[in-house]
Amino acid sequence: MNYQWYPGHMTKAKRMMQENIKLIDLIIEVVDARIPFSSRNPDIDELGKNKARLILLNKSDLADERENEKWAEYFKSKGYYVVKLNAKSGAGIKGVLPVVMESCKEKLERDRKRGIINRPIRAMVVGIPNVGKSTFINAFAGKACTKTGNKPGVTKGKQWIRINKNVELLDTPGILWPKFEDQSVGAKLAMVGSIKDEILNLEELSLELLKYLHESYEGVLTKRYDIEESENALSMLEQVAENRKCIQKGNELDYLKAANILLEEFRNGKIGKITLEKPEA
């Protein structure tokens, strides 16, 4: 699911979000656990001030478990509730509801004092494209009730999905833009496959990935591709091309094909459970 954001789209998405935020108690923000910083929207904290906040570290199955823990601690230290999740398999999904209740305990207490009972918590799922918002809504609601491939912002006629007697969820997620003014953010979004491949220089991207993997996860490339790791990313790409028989006409090495293999295998988790950014950075 790839997106082209224009100023008009962004203004519209933001306006929709502001409208919908008035109706809800809790913002459930989905981020990609491999890039928890780069997969956040730059304006979400401003938009969501005064609301209960829950961050779902989704696709945690593809990320480094030690870093998942560190990110969870990091976000908790900033005042968010956090749940690690694999929305696709459903692992961790049972842990979401108790945390939703916990995150809104002040509201429930306020309601109780005013004599309001049984008013459900209302929540909205938000995030940049491709982090797994729709997959999460489907898994959380327990049935296929949202469509994937949706439009920025939220539909006009609001539909609430009843999760149980205590919790309701806006049926359509709020889609927000990433921080793409930052180049390294763009590269990371591209590495995990959240930016259209056609508009990217895949060879350059694969070189950056090779460099990062060698520096931060030494040995994974040797294990997967049987190559000699070094500072020289081009030489590593060349070895991947050789070992995977990426040959083009004239018996030349096909670097683009090797880059595609590398990116595809990284995105599918075949190279390992890898996190591309660390909270301490």
Using rule CB under 6 A, residue 148 touches ligand G4P: yes
- We find the least distance from the C-beta atom of residue 251 to ligand G4P, in angstroms, to be 35
* Local structure of 134: helix, strand or coil: helix
Is 134 within any annotated ligand binding site?
A: yes
* Binds ligand G4P by CB under 6 A, chosen from 20, 39, 68, 134: 134
* Binds ligand G4P by CB under 6 A, chosen from 38, 68, 86, 239: 86
* Binds ligand G4P by CB under 6 A, chosen from 36, 48, 129, 178: 129
Residue among 75 and 255 whose Cβ is closer to ligand G4P: 75
Residue among 26 and 63 whose Cβ is closer to ligand G4P: 63
Q: How far apart are CA 57 and CA 183, in angstroms?
A: 23
- We find the least distance from the C-beta atom of residue 163 to ligand G4P, in angstroms, to be 17
Residue among 87 and 123 whose Cβ is closer to ligand G4P: 87
* Secondary structure E strands in the chain: 26-32, 52-58, 81-84, 121-127, 160-164, 167-170, 174-175, 247-248, 252-253
Using rule CB under 6 A, residue 127 touches ligand G4P: yes
- We find the least distance from the C-beta atom of residue 134 to ligand G4P, in angstroms, to be 3
User: What single DSSP character describes residue 86?
Assistant: B
* Binds ligand G4P by CB under 6 A, chosen from 20, 130, 206, 275: 130
Q: How far apart are CA 221 and CA 106, in angstroms?
A: 49
Residues within window 191-210 making contact with ligand G4P, judged by CB under 6 A: none
3-state secondary structure labels for all residues of 151-210: CCCCCCCCCEEEEECCEEEECCCEECCCCCCCHHHHHHHHHCCCCCHHHCCHHHHHHHHH
User: What single DSSP character describes residue 101?
Assistant: H
Q: Read off the tokens for 210.
A: 């090779």
Chain residues that interact with ligand G4P, rule: CB under 6 A: 1, 58-59, 61-62, 85-88, 127, 129-135, 148
Residue list, annotated binding site for GTP: 58-61, 130-135, 174
Which residues define the annotated binding site?
58-61, 130-135, 174
